[in-house]
């Protein structure tokens, strides 16, 4: 119980700082890949600080409430995970948080915001099968959804669930809003919609959204680490190393691909999910 409390406190306190640093590293590495100097690594924190000091702006009063609920549910997701609770329930709460983000965006009358919100729903439909299958894969291997029991196992899940791992890393490109699957937001100026779901998030609301994304990214990368975590303390080092490799791959993918249409994203994701996670699931069922 003490360990769980420490993990939860560390997540609540450190996740936004880790998430902000990761975004700063992302910007710097992306700039180097494009032969630019890029902003300082701490630039995301400067941006959020500036937004928090601005006047509160919202096209609709309920937008702030919906964004705050989105933030709370996302934090609850991470708290449950790092407290070693049910992994499947973590994913359900994650989906609930994404739903409130959709409502916060679509409630505005802005065309760009509405288009971005609708595309966010398409993204949810695209990645949910892979997310749920990831939880099923851990259950088939360990016979439980409890994160604490999975992390305390004597097995390295990656050796038994490589197909699930491939599917999960593939949908991370969607969840972390990287090209070619960044269809609901607009992180680059050349994309056709102006900021998408965040088009009407002004000042503090945009800061809340950004901090929430930092919490989410730490949770998502925590799942990556779970694939190699086991009862051996040394596995923590391998988990951090795997997370670093996967994050670099996501940056590389985001900087080497042009954005594609939603229909192609849907087909590609479901094909990868079916042939990697689906095949892996069948093999596990046959072995057991």
Query: Residue 101: which H helix or E strand, with range?
Result: helix 87-106
What's the helix, strand, coil split of the chain in %, to 5?
A: 75, 0, 25
Measured distance CA(226)–CA(149) in Å, rounded: 11
Question: What pLDDT, on the 0 to 100 scale, is given for residue 201?
Answer: 86
pLDDT digits (tens, 9 = 90+) for 83-141: 999 999 999 999 999 999 999 999 887 888 888 899 999 999 999 999 999 999 999 99
**Mean pLDDT over the full length of the chain:** 91
Under DSSP, the state recorded for 213 is H
- 211-254 tens-digit pLDDT: 999 999 999 999 999 999 999 999 999 999 999 999 999 999 98
Distance between CA atoms of residues 72 and 210, nearest Å? 13
Residue 131 pLDDT: 95
Total-model pTM:
0.94
Choose between 55 and 77: higher pLDDT: 77
Q: What are phi and psi of 71, to 5 degrees?
A: -65, -45
What are the residue ranges spanned by the domains of the chain?
2-287
Check residue 287 and give its pLDDT.
80
In which element (H, E) is residue 111 found? Answer: helix 111-142
Question: How close are the terminal C-alpha atoms of the chain, in Å?
Answer: 33
What per-residue confidence (pLDDT) applies to 132?
94
- Over 80: is that where the pLDDT of 188 sits? no
Mean pLDDT in residue range 8-25: 96
């Amino acid at each position: 119980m003490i360990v769980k409390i420490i993990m939860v406190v560390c997540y609540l306190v450190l996740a936004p700082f880790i998430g902000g640093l990761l975004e700063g590293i992302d910007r710097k590495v992306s700039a180097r890949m494009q032969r630019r100097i890029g902003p300082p690594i701490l630039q995301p924190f400067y941006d959020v600080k500036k937004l928090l000091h601005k006047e509160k702006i919202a096209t609709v009063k309920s937008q702030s409430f919906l964004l705050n609920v989105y933030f709370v549910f996302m934090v609850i997701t991470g708290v449950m995970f790092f407290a070693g609770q049910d992994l499947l329930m973590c994913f359900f709460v994650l989906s609930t948080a994404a739903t409130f983000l959709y409502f916060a965006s679509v409630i505005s009358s802005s065309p760009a915001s509405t288009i971005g919100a609708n595309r966010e729903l398409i993204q949810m439909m695209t990645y949910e099968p892979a997310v749920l299958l990831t939880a099923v894969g851990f259950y088939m291997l360990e016979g439980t959804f409890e994160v604490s029991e999975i992390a305390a196992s004597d097995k390295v899940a990656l050796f038994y669930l490589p197909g699930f791992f491939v599917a999960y890393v593939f949908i991370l490109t969607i969840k972390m809003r990287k090209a070619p699957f960044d269809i609901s937001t607009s992180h680059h100026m050349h994309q056709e919609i102006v900021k998408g779901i965040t088009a009407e998030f002004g000042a503090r609301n945009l800061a809340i959204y950004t901090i929430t994304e930092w919490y989410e990214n730490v949770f998502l990368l925590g799942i990556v680490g779970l694939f190699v975590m086991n009862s051996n303390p040394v596995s923590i080092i391998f988990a951090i190393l795997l997370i670093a490799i996967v994050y670099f791959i996501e940056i590389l993918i985001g900087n080497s691909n042009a954005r594609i249409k939603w229909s192609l994203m849907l087909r590609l994701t479901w094909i990868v999910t079916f042939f990697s996670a689906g095949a892996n699931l069948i093999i596990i069922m046959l072995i057991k």
